[in-house]
Chain A
Amino acid sequence: MKVLRITPDRCTGCMRCELACSYMQTGTFQPAKSVIRVSPFEAYASYAPYTCPQCAEAWCLTACPVEAITVSPVGAKVVLDDVCVGCKLCTIACPYGTIFYNAETGKAFKCNLCDGQPACAEACPTQAIEYVEAETHDWLGAFAAERAARHLTTLASA
């Protein structure tokens, strides 16, 4: 299955993925509605994007009481808007914080891999986000742990 492979070391924090993603989600350039999100590490000195890794054992899907989350033909876990009741259980269940609640529509929303042509991967100028055949993985874990440790060490020694 093709997945969004994220190589955090390549990210320069330009946020172009968020712009492209939000266009696919809303039809406007509105990063607040993006489902890929770039976070800063080490204060502001490094950045990395993150979105739903489409876990095999999807807790969002399991947690949903009305079966509004299903698997799309490209293997993405997607929210069925006409079934979702907006209870937000999925947002609590997700261990990565990559499923969101839209107060305007009253529905959950998340990465749907743009039905097989992810805009974020196309928009990324540094190939920090690629859409490739691979096993999915917690792409950010090691990077975040190392960066956070470094930041905390600096704070401790300050």
Chain B
Amino acid sequence: MGSTVPGGYAGKILRVDLSTERIWTEELTPEVCRTYVGGAGLGAKILWEEVPPEVGWDHPDNRLIMATGPFAGLPIWGTGGLTVVTRGAMTNGATNTQANGFFGANLKHSGYDAIVIQGRASRWVYLYIYDDTVELRDATPLLGKDTWETQQALEQLLHLSGHQLSVYSSGVAGENQVRFAAIAGDYGHVASKNGCGAVMGNKRLKAVAIVRGTKGLRVADPRGLMLAAEEIADDLKYDPSTRSLYEYGTLPGVMNLLRLGALPIKNYTTNVAPPGVDLDKWTAPGLRNGFPHRGYQCNACGMHHCHTQVLPAGPHQGELVDEPEYEGWSAGWAMGCTDPVAVAWLNTQIDRACVDVNEFGWLAGWVMECQEKGYITKEQLGGLELRWGDVEAANRLLQMIIRREGFGDLLAEGVKRAAERLGGPAAECAIYTLVGNTPRGHDHRARWEELLDTCTGSSGTLDSGPPVRHTEWGLPARFSTFDPEAVARVVGVTRGRRHFEDSLGACIFTTRTYMATLCRALNAVTGWDFTKEEAMRCGRRTAALLRAFNVRCGITPDLERPSKRYGSVPVDGPAKGQDISKHWEHMLDVWYETVGYDRRTGKPLPATLRELGLEHLIPALWGSEEAAHARR
């Protein structure tokens, strides 16, 4: 098995056609491994080759790709996750979204690097994987269950517990093809972006259940791997830029972003904490120690990041929940809720319902503002009153959405479509990009690099993320978030790093080390001689493939802009008066030039495609235009 593939790879892609219920495997070649690595890269390649423009997100021929990478299932920290690549429901374009947990480790130990799912089942099924036993099984008893209940039901049915079984499903939201349905599993890990759960639901696939396989993973240089793993771990533990992440995960984000004016409060209507909020509760130690908690880490991970916690007070006292990430806490603030216990409860309801926490935060905050201002009435909401900070009402709204009941049916289409349908002053309060997605849980009006990144992203979310070790690429260590030129250059130059990280089968929080260090680990695993330049080229190749896919789907540069509210000027707080709209066109100019894409059509330029080894895309993307472009 897989004897020709480099170390770290299982060597096989598992193929599933739900329409015919046919299951087969495909060998992974060493060339594909080296060119695309895995995860996002492998997914982008398959998406480009197998999903033509006429196959929309809800077409049976759409592919749902759940891929790992060479690090998954090895003792490098945080290597159990999966990357989901598909044509997603929010943008009807490319999706590249990650979840952690144990899916990737279990899959690799069963002998597969990725699962590619196509077709649509004639009955609700779940995919069962244990080594060479791969079956589509009846999922009727699982219908109506949330993500946690689905996992619990399968644990009981299969007599397995803990990490012996990894289950990823898309909840009731997926069953009803809510546009921003996610894919979630292992009690708190979510691949949340671009409606990948709606694709899963559209395929009538309730869940993927992977038993921890019994197969061994060989690596080229085990001692080198352990040394590189320790080096990465030491970097995370001791480097000042990652130390707080190591100690507290993403919890410090709340207070840090509040200080910058980048914590979104009450649907972008303010950036100042309301008077009387006990901010001590919102510090990282406050959020961690305010709850009885226990570490609950992903495969081989030594970060003090993921935790389970117990609600210490309130109407749900004693309930076990997943400690929210920064994004979960910030969704609470976007709805005007400043009680950590209430937000922690709501966050787990969102995970269980299985929708993107960001999209739901923007949606609920928007409905709250609109109801306060009379743009959406109580009657429209079927008698529901949604006041700022009321998480119980927000949860009722969530339940309406995932069942598509009443007004929930419109809201299930996401912020952009609901706002455009309502029009008028309500639409002007809504936060989204014109491509169709919403931002991560920040106020990007005080974080211009992420506003630009979110609007130009080709994955249904931001593509590059906050710059990590960007001095490796000759960029200045510090730059002002309000310097349009510097911001556009940084976002452009760092484009590709995140795509490479997402191809490794590791968590982006545990790859926050130098690219050179990641390459040392990759080379020890595979026996290759990757340099950081080759790694960056590999990431840029994936980014260009996803971009090309979107262009082919008809997503054009005129859609790459924020909605009115998303691109507005903050009225108070540290970023008061900062106006990105004045600089927007110039920022796009600089960004396009830096990444080597065509400003007019959005296409990666022929020269860029050649440089990335993607010349085979040129006829499809440029056709006869190529010669014309060369003359321009």
A residues whose Cβ falls under 8 Å from a Cβ of B: 12-16, 19-20, 22-23, 26-33, 38-40, 43-47, 123, 125-126
Report chain B residues within 8 Å CB of A123. Answer: 75, 300
Report chain A residues within 8 Å CB of B187. Answer: 44
Whether A29 touches B162, Cβ cut-off 8 Å, given contacts A12-B295, A15-B299, A19-B300, is no
Whether A126 touches B302, Cβ cut-off 8 Å, given contacts A22-B216, A28-B218, is yes
Closest partner residue, chain A, to B160 (CB atom): A40
Closest partner residue, chain A, to B187 (CB atom): A44
- The answer to whether B297 has its CB under 8 Å from any CB of chain A is yes
A-B pairs, top 5 by smallest CB distance, nearest first, are A125-B302, A40-B162, A28-B216, A30-B216, A12-B295
- The answer to whether B296 has its CB under 8 Å from any CB of chain A is yes
- The answer to whether B233 has its CB under 8 Å from any CB of chain A is yes
Q: Determine whether the beta carbon of A40 is less than 8 Å from that of B75.
A: no
Q: Determine whether the beta carbon of A30 is less than 8 Å from that of B215.
A: yes
Q: Determine whether the beta carbon of A38 is less than 8 Å from that of B75.
A: no
- Taken together as a complex, chains A and B put the C-alpha atoms of A40 and B161 apart, in Å, by 7
B residues whose Cβ falls under 8 Å from a Cβ of A: 73-75, 77, 102, 105, 109, 152, 155, 161-163, 187, 212-219, 222, 233, 294-302, 308, 320
Question: What 19 additional pairs, Cβ within 8 angstroms, besides A12-B296, A13-B163, A27-B218?
Answer: A12-B301, A14-B297, A14-B298, A14-B299, A14-B301, A14-B302, A15-B102, A16-B299, A19-B75, A30-B214, A31-B212, A32-B213, A32-B214, A39-B162, A40-B161, A43-B161, A44-B163, A47-B163, A126-B302
Report chain A residues within 8 Å CB of B74. Answer: 19, 29
- Taken together as a complex, chains A and B put the C-alpha atoms of A29 and B219 apart, in Å, by 8
- Taken together as a complex, chains A and B put the C-alpha atoms of A17 and B439 apart, in Å, by 38
B504 to chain A, nearest CB (A): 16
- Taken together as a complex, chains A and B put the C-alpha atoms of A29 and B216 apart, in Å, by 5
B62 to chain A, nearest CB (A): 32
Closest partner residue, chain B, to A23 (CB atom): B222
- Taken together as a complex, chains A and B put the C-alpha atoms of A38 and B217 apart, in Å, by 19
Interface residue SS majority, chain A: mixed
> Can you offer 12 A-B residue contacts whose CB atoms are under 8 A?
A12-B297, A13-B296, A14-B299, A14-B300, A14-B301, A26-B216, A28-B216, A29-B217, A30-B215, A40-B161, A43-B161, A46-B294
Whether A125 touches B73, Cβ cut-off 8 Å, given contacts A23-B222, A44-B161, is no
Report chain B residues within 8 Å CB of A30. Answer: 109, 214-217
- Taken together as a complex, chains A and B put the C-alpha atoms of A44 and B163 apart, in Å, by 8
Interface residue SS majority, chain B: loop
Report chain A residues within 8 Å CB of B161. Answer: 40, 43-44
Partner of A29, one of B73, B152, B297: B73
Report chain B residues within 8 Å CB of A13. Answer: 162-163, 295-297
- Taken together as a complex, chains A and B put the C-alpha atoms of A60 and B109 apart, in Å, by 30
Whether A45 touches B320, Cβ cut-off 8 Å, given contacts A19-B75, A20-B75, A30-B216, is yes
Q: Determine whether the beta carbon of B308 is less than 8 Å from that of A15.
A: no
Closest partner residue, chain B, to A19 (CB atom): B75
Closest partner residue, chain B, to A47 (CB atom): B162
Q: Determine whether the beta carbon of A29 is less than 8 Å from that of B163.
A: no
Most buried by A among B102, B161, B162, B233: B162
- Taken together as a complex, chains A and B put the C-alpha atoms of A33 and B212 apart, in Å, by 12
Report chain B residues within 8 Å CB of A43. Answer: 152, 155, 161
Most buried by A among B73, B74, B152, B216: B216
Whether A15 touches B216, Cβ cut-off 8 Å, given contacts A23-B222, A30-B109, A32-B109, is no
Report chain B residues within 8 Å CB of A31. Answer: 109, 212
Report chain A residues within 8 Å CB of B296. Answer: 12-13, 45
Report chain B residues within 8 Å CB of A125. Answer: 77, 233, 301-302
- Taken together as a complex, chains A and B put the C-alpha atoms of A34 and B77 apart, in Å, by 18
Report chain B residues within 8 Å CB of A23. Answer: 75, 222
B331 to chain A, nearest CB (A): 24
- Taken together as a complex, chains A and B put the C-alpha atoms of A46 and B302 apart, in Å, by 16
Report chain A residues within 8 Å CB of B75. Answer: 16, 19-20, 23, 29, 123
Q: Determine whether the beta carbon of B162 is less than 8 Å from that of A16.
A: no
Report chain B residues within 8 Å CB of A20. Answer: 75
A52 to chain B, nearest CB (A): 21
Report chain A residues within 8 Å CB of B216. Answer: 22, 26, 28-30, 33
- Taken together as a complex, chains A and B put the C-alpha atoms of A47 and B298 apart, in Å, by 12
Q: Determine whether the beta carbon of B215 is less than 8 Å from that of A15.
A: no
B80 to chain A, nearest CB (A): 8
Closest partner residue, chain B, to A125 (CB atom): B302
Report chain A residues within 8 Å CB of B105. Answer: 15
Report chain A residues within 8 Å CB of B233. Answer: 125
- Taken together as a complex, chains A and B put the C-alpha atoms of A12 and B105 apart, in Å, by 16
- Taken together as a complex, chains A and B put the C-alpha atoms of A71 and B108 apart, in Å, by 36
Report chain B residues within 8 Å CB of A14. Answer: 297-302
Most buried by B among A12, A22, A30: A12
B509 to chain A, nearest CB (A): 14
Report chain B residues within 8 Å CB of A126. Answer: 295, 302
- Taken together as a complex, chains A and B put the C-alpha atoms of A30 and B219 apart, in Å, by 12
Q: Determine whether the beta carbon of A38 is less than 8 Å from that of B295.
A: no
- Taken together as a complex, chains A and B put the C-alpha atoms of A123 and B299 apart, in Å, by 12
- Taken together as a complex, chains A and B put the C-alpha atoms of A13 and B162 apart, in Å, by 9
- Taken together as a complex, chains A and B put the C-alpha atoms of A46 and B216 apart, in Å, by 26
- Taken together as a complex, chains A and B put the C-alpha atoms of A23 and B496 apart, in Å, by 33
A122 to chain B, nearest CB (A): 8
Q: Determine whether the beta carbon of B217 is less than 8 Å from that of A28.
A: yes
Report chain B residues within 8 Å CB of A40. Answer: 161-163
- Taken together as a complex, chains A and B put the C-alpha atoms of A32 and B111 apart, in Å, by 13
- Taken together as a complex, chains A and B put the C-alpha atoms of A31 and B102 apart, in Å, by 13
- Taken together as a complex, chains A and B put the C-alpha atoms of A45 and B218 apart, in Å, by 31
A155 to chain B, nearest CB (A): 12
Most buried by A among B212, B300, B308: B300
Report chain B residues within 8 Å CB of A26. Answer: 216
Report chain B residues within 8 Å CB of A22. Answer: 216
- Taken together as a complex, chains A and B put the C-alpha atoms of A30 and B75 apart, in Å, by 11
- Taken together as a complex, chains A and B put the C-alpha atoms of A152 and B298 apart, in Å, by 26
